[in-house]
Structure 1
Amino acid sequence: MKILVTGMNGQLARSLAARAQGGGIELVLAGRPELDLENPLTFAPILKSVAPHMVINAAAHTGVDQQEDEPQRAFRINAEAPAELARLTRLAAIPIIQVSTDYVFDGKSSEPYVESDGPNPQTVYGRSKLAGEQAVRSENPDHLAVRTAWVFSRYGRNFVKTILSAAQKRKRLQVVVDQFGNPTEAHDLADGLLAAARFWRDHQGFPQGLYHLAGQGRASWYEVARQVLEVSKAMGGPIAEVEPIVSDQWVAKALRPANSELNSERFANDFGYSAGDWPDRVSCVVGNLIKDSVIGQDTQEADRVSVAPQFSKPTDEAV
């Protein structure tokens, strides 16, 4: 089974490549300039050239604050591009998996969100990603939309790597304590998507069109930062004190959900796969980063850490 994956330099694409070794799946990663989400004319040629059995759209504009200033670009990448990919895959009679985000919810629920909960995005990012889900659903009936959250890994740009990098430069960090979600290791997300792909291969269809898939366990950004630095200290890595602050103390253009915890039971029931517990996954990633001495590489400006600028650069990464 050959799968075309968009966003070749992102956390998810690189994790998919690592996890798809063997198992009867061949991955083809594609990115700029051969496949450019801002240039729909690049889509058909690469689909024809690769001739995949499935497409996983793992690319997105994820600069949450920046998108408040450039909504047209956000919708072009996160909504219009998936719509065209879905149309072309329908014409080619192949399925598409669209990766989406917890930001489609407003964060006001006191319970983990399930797939039947009504979305109410509060940011350009959330609205554009929801529009992408809806477009894929409309353009290709043979689809899967998978919402995830708080993705981290040893690759690319993410919160865990930013905390380690910041701790190399500062001895005291301020991190938001009143926003909660499910930290998700990118390899776990990749394993889940590959499980769904194998299900489609074996059954020629997906059970349902919308799922949540995120790490096990609820955490605040503050709790994640504490876990990162405790492991780092134990391994002789960077050390810093972490001070909890509330969202009102950290001004950002885009409103973050207070609670974006996702319930992933439907995915586990239908595909037989659950992501791992977030503390174990964070500890493993931190350990590997310190062991391999790659702290500070490919980090990003995290909007929840007070030692960095607020505005992150657009990236071709999932969520």
Structure 2
Amino acid sequence: MTVLVVGASGHLGGEVSRRYVDAGESVVGTYHRGPGVTDGIDWQPLDIRDSAAVAALVGRVRPKVVISTAYVFGDWWVSADGAAAVAVASARVSARLVHMSTDAVHGGRPEPYLDGDTPTPVGVYGASKAAAETAVKAIDPAAVLVRTSLIIGDAASKQVKLCLDLIGRKVPGALFSDEIRCPLAVEDLAGAVVELAASDVRGTINVAGPEAVTRPELGRLVAAHYGLDATDMPVGTIADSGLQRPAEVRLDSSRAEALLTTHLRGVSELFRKA
């Protein structure tokens, strides 16, 4: 089986690719700026804003599975139009499509969001990902769309590095006390993606951690894990920052937990060695 991972040079894409390589599958991975570090991948440059280039690559590779992970924060053409181009090309070769989405499609509320809840984005990024979902579902009704939350990895991963940089005062900003998410380990998310690709699940499904935490709570867990003092960790609020972003977003992942064998760890378990 040939698997095409769009955005394989990214954090999640690299972990998904590694799992398929380890399973003995043939993996073609795309990149825009440069190849990733995962071995055993047939690396191919691709700008998913170029629908003709996407169609040509997919037509040449003819994958059985396409995992669509590519996005650029704030770039509509990549996150929305690019996702649609991948869906069109995948449908033409009858590939199984897994499209990665985000909890940012929601505007925020105290109650958890269920799998099928309608997007209510408040920012450009969330709107672009909501548009991508609409396009993918229209183009390929059999596709599975995975809504996830903050992806946690090692010290170089985006969310952990942000915490470390803010704690160390290496970058300006603050961790918002009114921003609540359900973080998930990249390994757990990749395992879930591979399982979903092999299933007959279609439509949107939440795959996030079972534990909701504020950004400062996540920062303190990261600090403890790396043996750092978080006493002076900069803390603020979304309201004070003037930024437009969702605050309280909890994803109910109970359906995924019932369907999958992959264990979706909460942050307390993820950082239990702290």
TM-score, length basis structure 2: 0.86
Find the partner of 1:258 among 222, 247, 253. 247
Aligned length: 262
Residue 14 of structure 2: aligned partner: 14
Q: CA deviation at 1:197?
A: 1.8
String of CA shifts for 1:213-262, please: whole Å, max 9, x gaps. Answer: 011201000100011111222xxxx434225432223232xx22121110
Distance, in Å, in 2 between the alignment partners of 1:29 and 1:270 is: 27
- Over 3 Å counting, the alpha-carbon distance change for 1:75 and 1:243 in structure 2 is closer
- Over 3 Å counting, the alpha-carbon distance change for 1:270 and 1:54 in structure 2 is same
Q: CA deviation at 1:189?
A: 0.8
Distance, in Å, in 1 between the alignment partners of 2:250 and 2:208 is: 8
2:22 alignment partner, SS class = coil
Name the amino acid aligned to 2:225. Answer: V
Q: CA deviation at 1:16?
A: 1.1
CA contact under 8 A between 1:11 and 1:152: conserved in structure 2?
A: no
- Over 3 Å counting, the alpha-carbon distance change for 1:133 and 1:156 in structure 2 is farther
- Over 3 Å counting, the alpha-carbon distance change for 1:194 and 1:143 in structure 2 is same
Residue 114 of structure 1: aligned partner: 114
**Structure 1 residues 250-289: aligned runs within 5 Å:** 250-252=241-243, 255-282=244-271
CA contact under 8 A between 2:116 and 2:204: conserved in structure 1?
A: no
Residue 152 of structure 1: aligned partner: 152
Q: CA deviation at 1:102?
A: 0.5
Q: CA deviation at 1:86?
A: 1.2
1:239 equivalenced with 2:239 (yes/no): no
Name the amino acid aligned to 1:86. Answer: A
**Structure 1 residues 90-105: aligned runs within 5 Å:** 90-105=91-106
Q: CA deviation at 1:169?
A: 4.5
Find the partner of 2:211 among 211, 217, 237. 217
Structure 2 unaligned regions, length at least 5: 34-44
CA contact under 8 A between 1:173 and 1:240: conserved in structure 2?
A: no
- Over 3 Å counting, the alpha-carbon distance change for 1:283 and 1:51 in structure 2 is farther
1:226 equivalenced with 2:226 (yes/no): no
1:20 alignment partner, SS class = helix
Name the amino acid aligned to 1:265. Answer: S
String of CA shifts for 1:275-314, please: whole Å, max 9, x gaps. Answer: 1122232467xx8xxxxxxxxxxxxxxxxxxxxxxxxxxx
Identity of aligned residues (%): 25
- Over 3 Å counting, the alpha-carbon distance change for 1:84 and 1:270 in structure 2 is same
Distance, in Å, in 2 between the alignment partners of 1:93 and 1:155 is: 38
String of CA shifts for 1:137-160, please: whole Å, max 9, x gaps. Answer: 111122110000111212754121
Find the partner of 1:38 among 49, 55, 68. 49
String of CA shifts for 1:190-214, please: whole Å, max 9, x gaps. Answer: 0100111222xxxxxx233210001
Residue 163 of structure 1: aligned partner: 163
Q: CA deviation at 1:125?
A: 0.8
1:59 equivalenced with 2:53 (yes/no): no
String of CA shifts for 1:45-88, please: whole Å, max 9, x gaps. Answer: 221332210111111112xxxx3xxxxxx321111111122112
Distance, in Å, in 2 between the alignment partners of 1:247 and 1:278 is: 22
- Over 3 Å counting, the alpha-carbon distance change for 1:156 and 1:96 in structure 2 is farther
TM-score, length basis structure 1: 0.75
- Over 3 Å counting, the alpha-carbon distance change for 1:123 and 1:187 in structure 2 is same
Distance, in Å, in 2 between the alignment partners of 1:11 and 1:22 is: 17
Distance, in Å, in 1 between the alignment partners of 2:9 and 2:192 is: 19
Structure 1 unaligned regions, length at least 5: 68-73, 200-205, 288-319
